A and B are shown apart, each in its own frame.
Chain A
Amino acid sequence: MRKYLRRVIQLVFFLLFPSAYTAAFGGVKYIFTRLGAGEMVSLTSFLAILAVLCVYTMVFGRFFCGFACAFGSFGDALHAIFDRICKSLGKRIPRSVRELPRRLFWVKYVLLAAIALLCFFGVQDRTRGMSPWDVFSMLRAGNPRLSGYAPGVFLLLLLMAGMCVWERFFCLVFCPMGAVFSLLPVLPVLTLGRSSEGCREKCSACARQCPSGLRLPDVADPDTPGDCFQCQKCIGLCPRGSIRCRCDGLRGSEAWFSLLRAAVLLALLLWLGV
């Protein structure tokens, strides 16, 4: 039930706001371009989207990543299809391979720094044709004029292969927008936590199911891990029901809360005119 709710929300956001993630990252690139050029950073529409999504993330955690990002949803769909094929063939990916991306989470920060530097020195236009996001957006918009985008097509195909094998592969390892989000402080009120007294020492059911391999911090700890996409997969999974919303009033009504968060995000994006 919770799984289908998430898929419906993802589909709605994919259809309504397929370019919210690139627009927000356009805001990041804009800031560094202007800093490099010595010009004023003014509130453009890209920057407004970036600011609103950052504030939203600081309140609700990375719900945008888990439920509303078009590229994330695309990856989820690929992984779901690949997973089904694997199951019907009776094959399983070995655990050592499955946990590989979790050790490469730092790559996205390097990528973010590299893109920021390219923008700062004003040479970002020279890498045109290399961005897999551009290629994805063009294909999504039904724009097949991909000449000059060969490197981007190649990278997108590589990423798609990774997305098939590993859930949230791109988000965890490469997403530069995710790198920005994961560096934001999140209010420790509306995110998930774990009441760890009930946990057996060797149980790691939640961490094994988590796309980022996270074992959530205790509810008393105010930290929210930067790589938690708020995908909510861990909620129904714990045999002891130890994973819950930090806010007591929301316990048990996580599905409604997801709907509420989606509605707030929908209203914000409509207001911004994404």
Chain B
Amino acid sequence: MRSIWIKAINLILVLGILLGYDTLVQVHAQQDYIARLSAQLAGSEQTMENMRAGVEELAGVLRRKTAAAETSSVMEEAGTKDTGEDEAVEEHAELPGMADGEYEGEAQGFGGPIAVSVSVEDGRIASVTVLSADGEDPAYLDTAGAVCDAIVEAQSADVDTVSGATFSSAGIRDAAAQALEKAGS
């Protein structure tokens, strides 16, 4: 039996399939990107159109209002002022309650504690970095690092663990959750 040749051909096939698959996925992603861009372009053209119509409508309303204001009393002006102030208060309440700064947290990983630093800028989670993780295996820690980006993207520590590096990523996530608690979110 020359099984070495069969094995060699199989290996080449597997590698070829993987490379072909990757190229396909890449081409698809590019096509999707182009489609999204053109949709955006079409959308923005539509928005421009809408805006123009809106501006014209607004101009019409303003013209009517000025005509009305000339005849009515000053009381109405005070009324509009009040509603403006209310809106400002509401906007303020929507801001997240995180104070800017660097916060550290620690949690149990796979083989020991993981220390994490979360930086908050403008009330948002700007970045999550692992400070120390002596008990983790480097390859696992590297894979688990994807959870840092996920936290920044979700703006919350309530994210899924990375499969294949469950313990390390759960450690990073829990440490980040602890740090965010300190930030007062």
Which A residues have a C-beta under 8 Å from some C-beta of B? Answer: 18-19, 23, 26, 29-31, 33, 35, 38-41, 44-46, 49, 124-125, 128, 137-138, 141-143, 145, 183-186, 188, 222-224, 226, 272-274
Contacts and interface: CB of A to CB of B under 8 A. Distances in A.
A273 B139 contact: yes
Contacts of A223: 1-4
B59 interface: no
A224 B4 CA distance: 8
Interface in B136-185: 137-140, 142-143, 163-167
B81 interface: no
A215 to B, nearest CB: 14
A45 B139 CA distance: 6
B138 A273 contact: yes
Contacts of A39: 25
Nearest to B17: A35
Nearest to B8: A185
Interface string B47-71: 0000000000000000000000000
B41 interface: no
B110 to A, nearest CB: 6
Contacts of A18: 137
Contacts of A35: 21
Contacts of B21: 35, 41
A26 B111 contact: no
Contacts of B111: 141-143
17 contacts: A19-B137, A23-B139, A26-B140, A26-B165, A29-B163, A40-B29, A44-B142, A46-B143, A46-B164, A125-B163, A141-B110, A143-B110, A143-B167, A185-B7, A223-B3, A274-B137, A274-B139
Interface of A is mostly: loop
A224 B22 CA distance: 32
B141 to A, nearest CB: 9
Contacts of A26: 139-140, 143, 164-165
A108 to B, nearest CB: 16
Interface residues of B, number: 31
B7 A184 contact: yes
Interface string B5-29: 1011011000000100110011001
B7 A40 contact: no
Contact of B140 (A19, A41, A185): A19
Q: Which 7 A-B pairs have the closest CB atoms?
A: A141-B111, A185-B7, A185-B8, A45-B142, A45-B139, A23-B139, A19-B137
A44 B162 CA distance: 13
Given A30-B164, A46-B164, A142-B111, A222 B4 contact: yes
Contacts of A137: 110
A26 B167 CA distance: 14
A41 B137 CA distance: 22
Contacts of B165: 26
A41 B18 contact: yes
Given A141-B111, A142-B111, A185 B4 contact: yes
A138 B110 contact: yes
B142 A185 contact: no
Given A30-B164, A40-B22, A222-B4, A184 B139 contact: no
Given A46-B139, A272-B139, 6 more contacts: A40-B26, A46-B164, A145-B108, A185-B4, A223-B2, A274-B137
Interface in B84-134: 108, 110-112
A184 B110 contact: no
Contacts of B26: 40
Contacts of A40: 22, 25-26, 29
Contacts of B22: 40-41
B140 A23 contact: yes
Contacts of A224: 4
B135 interface: yes
B4 A188 contact: yes
A137 to B, nearest CB: 8
